[in-house]
Structures are given as C-alpha cells and as structure tokens.
Amino acid sequence: MTTPAETVATVVASDISDRAFRLYVVIALHGDAWMSCQDIATAVGMKSHEIRMPLAELRRVGLVERERRYERHAKNRKTWHTYVRLTPAGTTTEAAA
C-alpha cells in the first residue's frame, strides 16, 4: 500500500500540467466514486470545456478513467454526461493499455 506522499510524488513525476494536477487533487479528495465533469470544473473554478485537455493528460498517464453515460434530464431530454474517477489500483485504463 502506498502512502499519500508516495502517490503525490508519483503524480508530480508523471510530467502533467498544473491544471491536470489540480483536477487530480479534486478527484482524489472525492474518493473512489464517479464524479461528473461539471462537478470537477466547478470545484476548480473552471468551465466544463476547460477541463477536457487536463483530463486527457490524466487519462494518458493512467491516473484516471472515464465513463460516458446517456442520461435523461428532468425535462425528458436525453444527453451524454462524462464521469471520472481515479484508476483503481492494479488496473490499466484504455489509454494506458
């Protein structure tokens, strides 16, 4: 089992941008649950379209995984939502594979 200090050292050594690191911290503090991109963007004070590239960086290095869901809104309109969580220990993501 790794300590939080070892985990942060690994993330910093992965050569990701400052924005990607900010997103990683928010996702890590949220735990293992899926978190919507809108909630992540709100937590870091950015717009949802501004987090796309930093999330792609995190996926590229295998730190997070994403899931797209086709959901229905209150007004019965269907739309896609993207959810993100930390990559479970011992697994690889599609980007890292």
Could you name the CATH architecture of 15-86? Answer: Orthogonal Bundle (1.10)
Residue 76 Rama label (left phi>0; alpha psi -120 to 50; beta): left
Report whether 41 contacts 51 (CB < 8 A): yes
What does the alpha-carbon distance between residue 41 and residue 61 come to, in Å, rounded to a whole number? 20
What are the sequence ranges of the domains in the chain?
Answer: 15-86
Flag whether pLDDT at 9 surpasses 70: yes
Flag whether pLDDT at 85 surpasses 50: yes
What does the alpha-carbon distance between residue 34 and residue 30 come to, in Å, rounded to a whole number? 9
Length of the chain: 97
What does the alpha-carbon distance between residue 55 and residue 93 come to, in Å, rounded to a whole number? 13
What is the structure's pLDDT at 93? 44
pLDDT band at 82 (very low <50, low <70, confident <90, very high): very high
